[in-house]
Amino acid sequence: MSDDLPIIKIEGLSKAFQGPDGEFFALEDINLEIKSGEIFGIIGMSGAGKSTLVRCINFLERPTQGTVYFDGQNLSDLTKKELYKIRQSIGMIFQQFNLLMQRNVLGNVCFPLEIAGVEKDQAVERAKELLSMVGLSDKTYAYPSQLSGGQQQRVAIARALATNPKVLLCDEATSALDPATTKDVLMLLKDINKNLGITIVIITHEMKVIEEICNRVAIIDKSRIAEVGSVEEVFTRPKTAAAKRLVFPEEHSIEMVPGKRCCRIVFNGNSSFEPIIAGMVLDFRQPVNILFADTKNIDGKAFGQMVIQLPDNELTASRMMEYLRAKNLTVEEVDGYV
**At residue 336, does pLDDT exceed 60?**
no
Q: Residue-wise over 218-254: b if at least 16 C-beta within 10 A, else e?
A: bbbbebbbbbbbebbebbbebeeebbbbbbbeeeeee
pLDDT of residue 155: 96
Higher per-residue confidence, 195 vs 5: 195
pLDDT of residue 257: 44
Q: What is the pLDDT of residues 26-42, one digit of tens each?
A: 999 999 999 999 999 99
Q: What is the pLDDT of residues 268-305, one digit of tens each?
A: 665 555 678 888 888 888 888 888 877 665 655 656 77
Say if CB 108 and CB 155 are below 8 A apart: yes
| Residue 69 bridge partners (DSSP) | 9, 74
Cβ neighbour number for residue 330 with a 10 Å cutoff: 15
Say if CB 286 and CB 311 are below 8 A apart: yes
**At residue 111, does pLDDT exceed 90?**
yes
pLDDT of residue 26: 92
The C-alpha angle 231, 46, 33, rounded to 5 degrees, equals 40
Task: Report the pLDDT averaged over residues 143-165.
Answer: 94
Residue 267, H or E segment: strand 262-268
**At residue 71, does pLDDT exceed 70?**
yes
Tally of CA atoms within 13 A in the half-sphere of 301 that contains its CB: 13
Radius of gyration of the chain (CA): 23
Task: Report the pLDDT averaged over residues 328-335.
Answer: 80
Task: Report the pLDDT averaged over residues 76-82.
Answer: 92
Say which residues have a Cβ less than 8 Å from residue 308's Cβ, sequence separation at least 6: 262, 263, 265, 277, 288, 289, 290, 291
Angle between helices 120-133 and 105-115 in degrees, nearest 10: 130
116: left (phi over 0), alpha (psi -120 to 50) or beta: alpha
The C-alpha angle 135, 139, 144, rounded to 5 degrees, equals 110
Domains of the chain: which residue ranges? Answer: 8-247, 258-334
Residue 192, H or E segment: helix 179-196
Higher per-residue confidence, 106 vs 264: 106
pLDDT of residue 157: 96
β-pair type (216-221, 262-268) = unpaired
**CATH code reported for the domain at 258-334:** 3.30.70.260
Q: What is the pLDDT of residues 215-272, one digit of tens each?
A: 999 999 989 999 999 988 888 778 888 888 877 655 444 444 444 688 888 876 655 5
pLDDT of residue 1: 42
Q: What is the pLDDT of residues 180-217, one digit of tens each?
A: 899 899 999 999 999 999 999 999 988 888 888 999 99
Say if CB 162 and CB 192 are below 8 A apart: no
Chosen CATH of 8-247 out of 3.40.605.10, 2.120.10.30, 3.40.50.920, 3.40.50.300:
3.40.50.300
173 vs 46: CA distance, rounded Å: 15
pLDDT of residue 18: 86
